[in-house]
């Protein structure tokens, strides 16, 4: 029988008196989690999943069946992963190898820690992607014969076993898209913005054969002479349905339906450039929904990059200047927002910014000196950092985490998987695979980073989802639905909510389509000694949460459950 929890401090800790001294630590508020790595919370840990997956993880996307699509480029020469059954790719346009019997893409199975080679036909180098509302990855562009291609990879239905592979669509892009960024839109289409020497955006699929691309002067204006510094622009779909675009140091709000720049925001303060090859990163910070139709506030964060001239210095003169140390936050939903600047504990270029299920931001991979580009980075930054966006004092928002062993330089990537770990792979600052290069050989390994919330001492606080009360694991906009979960020690005053996390397409330090939503909590009911039901409201609209598959987590005392997949439409 269900009873409403009257005393939120209800405790099931009697069974664990042996651990009582440890849990005296837990009388802390959330701010106390911003401790240095010497804290009892630890700085997370690393685990080597596979010494080699056979290719270098340049692009990564988690799919709704928990598999991860990984690919690099077809013109790297032979990889260390053979295509099955003696198959080969015959490509007269390939600049490295016209007949290639090795794979440049694979499907990683998180549960079994195994890989299956996939066969990609044309060059996906420095491309972009987004997952459509039906859960199919749609990847666009690349280089050479791949620059206008649209490819899909759909999760494999169980009955088809292991036969699913890439499909190249008939429909081509209107323009070449190399170093472009993509975003899923509320109507289920995908917008593709920019690319090298391309100052337009376009949509896939097109509404008619007549639909072309749309010129955007901002993309041209933000390109630096000889350095660019505006590629892989940072895109964030705001709750009002307009698209925030950041390139170099500037940002705009675009009404892409009318091809109208609604406003330009203030330039980010300081000299540093933030986009490729001065590769910083950016996230739309977690948005808090009220449970009703009201629109949440939206805040963008941008971290790292390089000072002006850094690319010319590293590329031409082999001088590797120190990367940017700063981050900027901008409440982009405010009418006339100002940037708030903060300093990271160390300089970072080419770091990935990932939203963790508990709403913290992880910065991982990258370098301390130089820029993106062949041979242009130095001094790997081994320590990930955690950023706690809601902690009031800026000085306590950053936490330095356990260092990685492997340098993850140019062409590395990272993604959050449903069990809360972070998959980390890639690193190849060379134009070919080069396993003897010094100091940064091509890396084919795949590692997992366990964020601090996975430390064993938090097991007692970790919720475990029993069921989702939603037909077909699907919720419609504004629908109320419940999640049943168990937890050993219940401490709702330290935070209890449900989060949706959209799995991003990550490459070149930018996680496209990444989105974290705190759902509005309507009630919490105790079902039995350790079981609870939390009722929440689904996001109010497709502009707040574009249709598609999200990972859903119950987050309790900043410790997330294992995620389950929910479809929002």
Given 230, 333, 365, 379, the residue binding ligand NAG (CB under 6 A): 379
Q: How far apart are CA 532 and CA 530, in angstroms?
A: 7
The backbone region for 40, taken as left when phi is positive above 0, alpha when psi lies in -120 to 50, beta otherwise, is: alpha
Q: Cβ(428)–Cβ(405) under 8 Å?
A: no
- Minimum gap (Å) between residue 89 Cβ and ligand NAG: 18
Residue with tokens 């790595």: 37
Written as one string, the DSSP assignment of 115-144 is: EEEE---S--TT-EEEE-TTS-EEEE--SG
Total site size for ligand NAG, rule CB under 6 A: 15
| 278 versus 379: smaller Cβ distance to ligand NAG | 379
C-beta neighbour count of 373 within 10 angstroms: 19
| 378 versus 462: smaller Cβ distance to ligand NAG | 378
- Minimum gap (Å) between residue 50 Cβ and ligand NAG: 10
Q: DSSP character for 285?
A: P
Q: How far apart are CA 420 and CA 387, in angstroms?
A: 16
The tokens describing 278, both together, are 């001065």
Of residues 64 through 123, those in contact with ligand NAG by CB under 6 A are 80
Written as one string, the DSSP assignment of 324-355 is: --EEEEE-TTSSS---EEEE-SS--BS-EEEE
- Minimum gap (Å) between residue 380 Cβ and ligand NAG: 10
- Using CA atoms, how far residue 314 sits from 309, 319, 320, 408, 537, in Å, is 9, 5, 5, 18, 50
| 65 versus 322: smaller Cβ distance to ligand NAG | 322
| 50 versus 206: smaller Cβ distance to ligand NAG | 50
Given 322, 383, 530, 531, the residue binding ligand NAG (CB under 6 A): 322
- Minimum gap (Å) between residue 436 Cβ and ligand NAG: 5
User: Near ligand NAG by CB under 6 A, which window of 82-90, 195-203, 318-326, 526-534?
Assistant: 318-326
- Minimum gap (Å) between residue 379 Cβ and ligand NAG: 4
Given 62, 284, 321, 552, the residue binding ligand NAG (CB under 6 A): 321
Of residues 402 through 441, those in contact with ligand NAG by CB under 6 A are 432, 434-438
Q: What does the angle CA 451 – CA 513 – CA 175 come to, to the nearest 5 degrees?
A: 135
Of residues 266 through 295, those in contact with ligand NAG by CB under 6 A are none
| 208 versus 436: smaller Cβ distance to ligand NAG | 436
Given 369, 506, 514, 561, the residue binding ligand NAG (CB under 6 A): 369
Q: Is 318 in the site for ligand NAG (CB under 6 A)?
A: no
| 100 versus 175: smaller Cβ distance to ligand NAG | 100
Q: How far apart are CA 320 and CA 309, in angstroms?
A: 10
- Minimum gap (Å) between residue 370 Cβ and ligand NAG: 7
The tokens describing 376, both together, are 């242009």
Residue with tokens 């099955």: 84
Given 30, 31, 37, 52, the residue binding ligand NAG (CB under 6 A): 52
Task: Give residues in contact with ligand NAG (CB under 6 A).
Answer: 52, 80, 320-322, 369, 378-379, 432, 434-438, 444
């Amino acid at each position: 029988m269900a009873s409403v929890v009257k005393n939120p401090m209800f405790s099931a800790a009697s069974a664990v008196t042996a651990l009582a001294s440890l849990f005296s630590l837990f009388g802390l508020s959330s701010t106390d989690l911003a401790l240095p790595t010497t804290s009892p919370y630890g700085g997370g840990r690393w685990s080597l999943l596979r010494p080699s997956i056979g290719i270098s993880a340049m692009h990564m996307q988690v799919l709704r069946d928990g598999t991860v699509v990984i690919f690099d480029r077809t013109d790297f020469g032979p990889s260390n992963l053979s295509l099955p059954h003696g198959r080969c790719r015959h490509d007269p346009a390939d600049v490295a190898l016209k007949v290639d019997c090795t794979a440049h893409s694979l499907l990683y199975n998180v549960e079994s820690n195994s890989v299956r080679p996939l066969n990609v036909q044309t060059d996906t180098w420095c491309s972009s992607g987004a997952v459509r509302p039906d859960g199919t990855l749609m990847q666009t562009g690349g280089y050479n014969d791949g620059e206008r291609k649209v490819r899909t990879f759909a999760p494999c239905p169980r009955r088809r076993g292991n036969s699913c592979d890439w499909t190249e669509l008939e429909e081509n892009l209107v323009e070449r898209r190399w170093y472009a960024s993509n975003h899923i839109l509320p109507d289920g289409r995908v917008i593709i913005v920019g690319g090298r020497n391309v100052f337009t955006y376009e949509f896939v699929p097109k509404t008619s054969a007549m639909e072309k691309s749309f010129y955007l002067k901002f993309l041209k204006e933000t390109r630096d002479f000889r350095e660019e510094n505006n590629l892989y622009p940072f895109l964030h779909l705001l709750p009002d349905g307009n698209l925030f675009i950041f390139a170099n140091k500037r940002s705009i709000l675009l009404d892409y339906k009318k091809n109208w720049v609604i406003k330009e925001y203030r330039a980010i303060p300081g000299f540093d450039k933030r986009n490729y090859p001065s590769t910083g990163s950016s996230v739309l910070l977690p948005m808090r929904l009220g449970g009703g139709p009201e629109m949440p506030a939206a805040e963008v964060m941008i971290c790292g990059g390089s000072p002006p001239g850094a690319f010319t210095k590293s590329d031409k003169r082999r001088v590797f200047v120190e990367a940017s140390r700063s981050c900027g936050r901008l409440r982009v939903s405010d009418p006339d927002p100002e940037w708030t600047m903060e300093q990271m504990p160390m300089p970072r270029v080419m770091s990935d910014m990932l939203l963790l299920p508990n709403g913290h931001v992880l910065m991982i991979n990258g370098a301390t000196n130089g820029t993106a580009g062949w041979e242009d980075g130095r001094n790997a930054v081994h320590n990930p950092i955690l950023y706690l966006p809601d902690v009031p004092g800026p000085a306590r928002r950053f936490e330095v985490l356990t260092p990685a062993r492997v340098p993850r330089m140019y062409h590395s990537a990272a993604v959050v998987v449903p069990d809360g770990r972070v998959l980390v792979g890639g690193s190849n600052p060379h134009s070919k695979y080069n396993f003897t290069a010094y100091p940064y050989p091509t890396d084919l390994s795949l590692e997992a980073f366990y964020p601090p919330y996975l430390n064993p001492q938090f097991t007692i606080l970790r919720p475990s989802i029993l069921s989702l009360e939603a037909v077909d694991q699907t919720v419609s906009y504004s629908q109320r639905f419940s999640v049943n979960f168990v937890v050993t020690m219940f401490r709702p005053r330290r935070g209890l909510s449900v989060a949706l996390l959209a799995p991003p397409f990550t490459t070149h330090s930018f996680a496209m389509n990444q989105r974290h939503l705190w759902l509005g909590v309507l009630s919490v009911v105790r079902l039995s000694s350790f079981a609870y039901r939390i009722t929440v409201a689904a996001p109010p609209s497709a502009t707040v949460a574009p249709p598609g598959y999200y990972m859903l987590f119950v987050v309790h005392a900043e410790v997330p459950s294992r995620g389950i997949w929910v479809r929002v439409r």
